[in-house]
Amino acid sequence: MLKVTSDTTTIRNVAVIGSGLAGLTSAIFLGRMGHHVRVFEKSRGPGGRMSSKRVSGGSADIGAQYFTARNPEFLAFLEQNAGTDAFDVWRARFGFQATDNSWLPFPEEKRYVGTPRMTAITRALSAGLEINAEVRIERLIARGSQWQLECTEGQDRGTFDQVVITAPPAQARDILLASGLDELAGQLIQPVEHILPCWAVAAHFAEPPTKQFDAMRPNSEQLYWVANNSSKPGRDDAGQWWVLHATPEWTQRSRGYRGRPCQPQTGGGVQCAHR
């Protein structure tokens, strides 16, 4: 991700579809190389699956829970482009429940979160970019050597020399199919199948429901992940907000899940997770 090479000498107009971490990172690097970049995002703001929802008295991270930085260049990139105020180390007690139900600690590793919420990182990364929010790109139309972008309402969103699609696989496939790029869309069959659904719930407790761990991977058919969101740095909640992620299997079986198996669903309490 951080190795940048280019044989392009001319400045080009580039469209980036999606303003999750991948889209924002692409836009930053392309802009640094001198290209004109416009980012298109169907939601109200950047973040994608690094999502946080407002809850009374604060916010809860319902998408990505934390990240590690196994490549030190990634931390340097965040420090430089998001700033050190946008993220911090989550010094939590992490417990993993083995099949015999005994609890084991997570491997020692620095785990980072956005402060005061996960979206603080993507907000900060988007600061110097041209983000066109609430624009869902429907299809690309070939115009000579360029691509015209059309949004859901059929509106022309401009013509670009290059387009970077960073939407999740199923949504990227839909754009490619609608654009008549069936061969490219076909390359996404496997990635689409690897996306699994995940119900996410934020629950408030006036008193700590448990003091053993701040975050857990229980040995459970229903729950994949349980975490005290209020234990993350920069949160200033009264009581504790806990985030629960259901297992993909339970999510698919649950009555409220109306998506097809192994198809991503977003919105409401449902988010999709790569597992």
Question: Is 215 a residue that touches ligand FAD (CB under 6 A)?
Answer: no
Question: Is 114 a residue that touches ligand FAD (CB under 6 A)?
Answer: no
In the complex, the smallest distance separating the C-beta of residue 251 from ligand FAD, rounded to whole angstroms, is 10
Question: Is 167 a residue that touches ligand FAD (CB under 6 A)?
Answer: yes
CB closer to ligand FAD, 91 vs 238:
91
Among 15, 16, 21, 216, binds ligand FAD (CB under 6 A): 21
Question: Is 197 a residue that touches ligand FAD (CB under 6 A)?
Answer: no
CB closer to ligand FAD, 32 vs 274:
274
Question: Is 67 a residue that touches ligand FAD (CB under 6 A)?
Answer: yes
Question: Is 170 a residue that touches ligand FAD (CB under 6 A)?
Answer: no
SS3 sequence of the chain? CCCCCCCCCCCCEEEEECCCHHHHHHHHHHHHCCCEEEEECCCCCCCCCCCEEEECCEEEECCCCCECCCCHHHHHHHHHHCCHHHEEECCCCEEEECCCCCEEECCCCCCEEECCCCHHHHHHHHCCCCEECCCCEEEEEEECCEEEEEECCCCEEEEECEEEECCCHHHHHHHHHHCCCHHHHHCCHHHHHCEEEEEEEEEEECCCCCCCCCEEECCCCCEEEEEEHHHCCCCCCCCEEEEEEECHHHHHHCCCCCCCCCCCCCECCEEEEEC
The site for ligand FAD (CB under 6 A) is made up of 17-23, 40-43, 48-50, 63-67, 136-137, 166-168, 171, 175, 198, 200, 245, 271-274
